Amino acid sequence: MYDLNKIVCKMKDDLNLSEVDFPKEYFYNSLSLCLIDAVFSIGVSYTSTENTVERYCNFYKIKRFRSMTDKNFPNHKDQDTIENLIDRIETLSIPKFTEQVLNNRQRTSTKSGILKTEAVLMIAKILLKSGISSFKDIEKLFKSESIENHIRTIPGQKSGVSFEYFLMLSGSKNHIKPDRMIIRYIEKIVGSRLKPKVIIQIIQDTEKVIKKEFPNINPRSLDYKIWNYQRNQNDKITKEIKIKKLSIMTADELVNSSKNIQEKWLKETKVNFKVDYEYVGSFEQDGEEEDWDWECGEVCTYSELKCGETPVYAFFIGTLTVYVYHDLELFGIYKSVEEGKDLVTKLDNFAG
């Protein structure tokens, strides 16, 4: 169980709930762009997704965004339809479209994953078969459970996170994308690791309470406000740290200090940072380790560092995509590998 009142109070303190605003990706000019964004944004930094969508638009000279002040969608003839997207991928072939157009070889998972381009094509065909090609068809999209069920059979789509985000970008106000930013924010308040389904329920319950005071808030806007707040927090250097010469800390002082100070130490001593990671293991959700989509793509890794002349070991949690680590977040710094591994492997959803 969780303390709903505590979560509501925290959100009121952290988030500007009186204003509802969205970034430009919520105003794509075509449904095809929503689909590309939704698939390519999972498990990676969002900058790479923005670049991927931009390359597609530039290659085919497609308008990327509609007006942020216009409440109406563009005319069907002014949109890049799902048919167009399918035709473009199949004309070039998946490998050539991946290399020449998107220049993005990301896969849906590190184990048995397919190219995200292929996932986009498979989803696009399901949409088209269901009579969905542009924004004029989205009501059918929002009401259909069978579409989601078919999409979830595609490798890397079992969690449904891409589909939820696709609906949000397409205009649905009632969906939530429980990505790492959202999960970290809620878990920090609750004080324990939670499954995505629980995160969604918490945000839905919280939104119902907050809406009484802030009627313009809906699940989608609350999701974005949390995501944006957490991203900004991750970009800030903690101001409470008073130690100015972290480079003179001893190894014992470092491993016994708070994570905030350890993060500051990493930033200030990055010249000695060996980017040579050792894999520890993955995390699973819902006990479904075999489908390595974003749920299971969260991994733990560590690297040996030097504090003075003493070796220490920094453990990180992040995403592994095509053998490259993304969005690594410090878990802690320890005097030995065994100590760090012992703590990591005790986490509830550590899969090994």
Q: In this predicted model, what pLDDT tens digit does every residue of 231-248 receive, in sequence order? A: 777 555 334 334 446 667
Q: For residues 156-173, b (16+ Cβ closer than 10 Å) or e, as one string? A: bbbbbbbbbbbbbbbbbe
Cα–Cα nearest to 329, from 125, 150, 183, 145:
183
Contact 108, 119 (CB under 8 A): yes
pTM value > 0.75: no
Instruction: Give the list of residues 6+ apart from residue 324 with CB closer than 8 angstroms, or none.
Output: none
- Distance (Å, whole) CA 164 – CA 141: 11
Contact 62, 164 (CB under 8 A): no
Q: For residues 225-250, b (16+ Cβ closer than 10 Å) or e, as one string? A: bbbbbbeeeeeeeeeeeeeeebeebe
pLDDT the model gives residue 241: 39
pLDDT in tens, 296-348: 457 788 888 888 888 899 988 877 765 566 677 888 899 998 888 888 776 65
Q: Give the least confident one: 38-42, 67-71, 79-83.
A: 67-71
Which comes out higher in pLDDT, residue 280 or 75? 75
pLDDT the model gives residue 189: 92
Confidence of residue 20 (pLDDT cuts 50, 70, 90): confident
For residue 154, pLDDT over 50 is answered with yes
Rg (CA), the chain: 22
Share of the chain above pLDDT 70, in %: 85
Q: What totals of helices (H) and strands (E) does the chain contain, helices first?
A: 15, 4
